[in-house]
Structure 1
Amino acid sequence: MASTIPPHFVLVPLSSQGHIIPTSDLACLLAERGARVSLVTTPGDAARLQGVADRARRAKLPLEIVELPFQPADDGVAPGSEGVDTVLRWFQSLYRLAGPLEDYVRALPRRPSCIVSDLLNPWTVGVARNVGVPRLVYATPSCFYSLCDLNVATHKDKPEDEFVVPGMPMRVELTKSTWPLAFFSPPSWEAFLEERNEGLRTADGVVVNSFLDIEGQFAECLEAALAMPVWVLGPFFLNNRDEEALAERTDQYKPSASMDENAVTAWLDDMAQRGVKVAYVNFGTVVGMCAGQLYEVGHGLEDSGTSFVWVVREEETATLEAREWLEALEARTAGRGLIVRGWAPQVAILSHPAVGGFVTHCGWNSLLESVTHGVPVVTWPKFADQILNERLAIDVLGIGAPVSATAPVVGQLSVLRADVARAVSDLMGDGEAAQERRRKAKQYGERAHAAMEKGGSSYQNLTKLVQSFAQSGGNGTRNTTPSIFSTSAMEPQEIQIER
């Protein structure tokens, strides 16, 4: 009888903080199930992943960080650069990793079982084909977004501005003005987006950081539309079961001048002891605010009368005027407001009992972390998948409310202090709508943890994924696996989304 060899997954994240961190979580999940994992990345990102490598070493997990030679300075761009064309040049510069990745795979004593590549790394398609290895796509957004994006891609010529997204299990109304990149991609992006889409269409399956209790109906429709397995395995970060593991995920991205996590926690502890609920305000690491908008947010938080933790990016206070204004705001809100400059321990904050709401840009990592900790949200999306994640939070899950009644135009929604004050007051208040959002958020938080526990939907799906790529007799081929929604793969689940 042929022996079963543990599968070997080669993970290729996009070189970006919001992509690498959840990919490293996935790597640990796979390794803890006995799979060998190679997390392949650039030298700079490998250095940032040292905490993950140390954790794997201590736990004796079969996980290695693999550095590929890469010099982004050749293109004059760097990770975190802003501007549409600059970001595109960064994505394109990563194509130079194809040769080193293929060399690494060919040098292995045994072919890996599978390459798991970020959706925004379409250059891995040729590598997987050349070495004869199956390829899964790690789709970093929600299933809801991916399904909308896939369905809209075939209807770009629809003439009217307002439309209903076809192929959805529920009615989803959008406008071209709120999601323009789905219809009016800059010419410089067309070739890249087509390669991205082709990479998705030709994959052997899709991995998603979500869970079936919030996205089961969308995952099932996505699987049917793509005619390939969609492995819903999250929330990945719940695999980090202690504070040390959580800190190791993000410490390498924390600027040396950042506020100490213990100081933030101590402040929240004091709020909890006083019975005060706090609003957490953070708009992510990609898009900054102009000074005028920053002032509106600050005055709105002050006028709301609510206690808050507000994360302000360093570049947002680059001018002396902005710094002096922020210091004056801190003085006026002392005792009920905490302003964190540059970086914050987001998961530690969201999991703290003093935190009762989150004002967010609706990045998928942030929204999933909020859902998982049972925290309702005020939504203020900026671009990309954030627009549709807002719809998921408000229209499907019922845990969110928009910061403004004004229909947003991507990157151009100007919010006044009165909007911020009203939204935060409503989020943290005792109104019927606020209480219902909190009830639903708490319910989904409990379900998120249950999904990752032994016997939960994500736990079972991960087990089946590892088993489906187990190698028998060393032939390096993937076992045939049915749809994760079929009765032969798992017991059918009835997914009910509360309205």
Structure 2
Amino acid sequence: MKTTAELVFIPFPAPGHLLSMIQLAKQLVKHDQRLSATICLIPLPSGNNTNLTAAGDDGSRVRFVNLPAVKPPPDTDPSRFMPTILEGSKRHIKELVGSDVARLAGFVVDMLCCTAMMDLGSELGVPPYVFYPSGANFLGFMLQLQALHDEGKLGDLAELKDTESEMAISSLEKPLPCKFLPSVVVEKEWLPLLIDNTRRLREARGIVVNTFLELETYALGSVSVAGNPPVYPVGPLLNLNSARPEEEEEKEEYKEVMEWLDGQPVGSVVFLCFGSMGSFTKEQATEIATALERGGHRFLWSLRRPSEMGITGDPGEYENFDDVLPGGFLDRTSGVGKVIGWAPQMAVLGHQSVGGFVSHCGWNSMLESVWFGVPIGAWPMYAEQQLNAFQFVEDLGFAEEIKMDYRWGSGKIVTAEEIEGGIQRLMTTTESDSRTRKTMNEMSEMSKKTLVNGGSSYSSMTRFIQDVIDNIPST
């Protein structure tokens, strides 16, 4: 069948946003032969750009275009750094569309690119859609905050984060304690940007969300109301091929990790991994090590070295773990645990020996954990992760708390006692007769069924594609 519709994807240049949007593009063109996709890659001046080797290509119907780099002036305020890059990239995207895209059906714009990119659709006469790589819960939360802000009813959220007060959230069944407000909305320099982006996404023709109906039934109901754009839950969008690395160095590390897991009893290992930007100070690493040694559970711990750039930089690898861990820890725990740097997260979560996952609660990691049916130990750090953690612990019952009010960079230390207690509760939930384990296994099966013909996400993707096809501008 001849391709009749070209979608241009504009991802935010961060791993959790970029890789899930690539999966969306690949799923769409696989779903319908009439579609093709162009993915615009916006480079970061720092050079910390995601390696797309594992993302691959989907023949001639998915192509990647590297846009020219945009360098903000040296005196640019940190909160304006990415908006400046996005605004500068807008011109390059218009030039690309004007010269290379023959049958433009629409733009698919990341949630964090809305303010800069939403006007492209009206300027070129095609509909804009928004891709929301976070869950429907966070979408509902931000729509509520934006409405309150525009009505002049939104107070200073930063003043609430250390209080015992609660907030009713339309996308949550239970009130949210303000100490669990997501970090991104209590940081005064970032909240206005999120409010602006949320206001602009209301102008979209539709919002494509990386979630599925069975997981976020309540949250999706709260956002699928009159006045909001249509919402299309099409997840979980996971790159299952990423379970096996491409780089030779990572292949050796992968082999070593998997061989170690092969030697552990079923469901006995707690896996600690904190995302592409997760890292800890020596003081915090010591508390984790103490908790693991005292708790006695088998463990696989991905420990990364903090970047000198803080949360905006990529963590590095330790040359010697003894430099950051308590003396003798590696020798004393050699029979039950393993400390590694880079971790093949998907492959580890899919291994039968893994019974629990201590996670930063990034949305992609949570979807992966659901896919493989592994209960979560919630230790959120930044962005919207505190909200994700509360939803999984309190609303859904798929997780146990490690420390839900933790905020990366706050200087606060999660104690060994808190970590040990959380891991103990988590590993208790992994027992075959536990309610949490049974519920998680049920949701794992649903996550796979939703993507096949007749499933809720499959049907939602069909509706989205039909809207795209029906609204191709006439030539």
Contact 2:183 2:383 (C-alpha < 8 Å) held by counterparts: no
In 1: Cα distance, 2:429 partner to 2:187 partner: 42
The 5 A counterparts of 1:50-449 are 50-53=53-56, 55-57=57-59, 62-72=61-71, 86=78, 88-108=80-100, 110-122=102-114, 123-153=116-146, 154=148, 155-157=153-155, 162-168=165-171, 170-175=173-178, 178-179=181-182, 181-182=184-185, 185-186=188-189, 189=190, 192-224=193-225, 226-237=227-238, 240=240, 245-247=241-243, 251=246, 256=249, 260-272=253-265, 275=266, 277-315=268-306, 323=323, 325=325, 328-341=328-341, 343-404=342-403, 407-408=405-406, 411-412=409-410, 413-429=412-428, 435-449=434-448
Moved more, 281-290 or 381-390: 281-290
How many pairs are equivalent? 449
Partner of 1:496: none
Contact 2:185 2:191 (C-alpha < 8 Å) held by counterparts: no
Partner of 1:24: 22
Contact 2:429 2:435 (C-alpha < 8 Å) held by counterparts: no
RMSD: 3.2
Which AA in structure 2 matches 1:301?
A: L
Moved more, 164-173 or 363-372: 164-173
Task: Give the 3 Å change call, closer, same or farther, for CA 432–166 of structure 1 in structure 2.
Answer: same
Once the two structures are TM-superposed, the CA of residue 182 in structure 1 deviates from its matched residue by 2.7
**TM-score in terms of structure 2 length:** 0.85
Moved more, 158-167 or 329-338: 158-167
In 1: Cα distance, 2:27 partner to 2:374 partner: 25
Which AA in structure 2 matches 1:294?
A: A
Q: Deviations over 1:142-199 (max 9, x none)?
A: 101111222133142289751332534623223167446435522xx46533431232
Task: Give the 3 Å change call, closer, same or farther, for CA 326–409 of structure 1 in structure 2.
Answer: closer
In 1: Cα distance, 2:71 partner to 2:273 partner: 29
Contact 1:15 1:45 (C-alpha < 8 Å) held by counterparts: no
In 1: Cα distance, 2:250 partner to 2:54 partner: 19
Task: Give the 3 Å change call, closer, same or farther, for CA 367–47 of structure 1 in structure 2.
Answer: closer
In 1: Cα distance, 2:322 partner to 2:248 partner: 20
In 1: Cα distance, 2:179 partner to 2:61 partner: 47
Partner of 1:462: 461
Contact 1:7 1:471 (C-alpha < 8 Å) held by counterparts: no
Once the two structures are TM-superposed, the CA of residue 50 in structure 1 deviates from its matched residue by 4.0
- Higher relative contact order, structure no. (Cα contacts within 8 Å, ≥ 6 residues apart): 1
Indicate the SS of the match to 1:266. Answer: helix
Segments of 5+ residues of structure 2 without an aligned counterpart are 307-314
In 2: Cα distance, 1:297 partner to 1:36 partner: 47
Partner of 1:489: none
Once the two structures are TM-superposed, the CA of residue 335 in structure 1 deviates from its matched residue by 2.5
In 2: Cα distance, 1:52 partner to 1:223 partner: 31
Contact 2:13 2:41 (C-alpha < 8 Å) held by counterparts: yes
Indicate the SS of the match to 1:97. Answer: helix
Partner of 2:8: 10
Partner of 2:311: none
Once the two structures are TM-superposed, the CA of residue 319 in structure 1 deviates from its matched residue by 9.4
Q: Deviations over 1:237-282 (max 9, x none)?
A: 16x4xxxx3257x75xx7957862122111111114xx46110101
Contact 2:5 2:105 (C-alpha < 8 Å) held by counterparts: yes
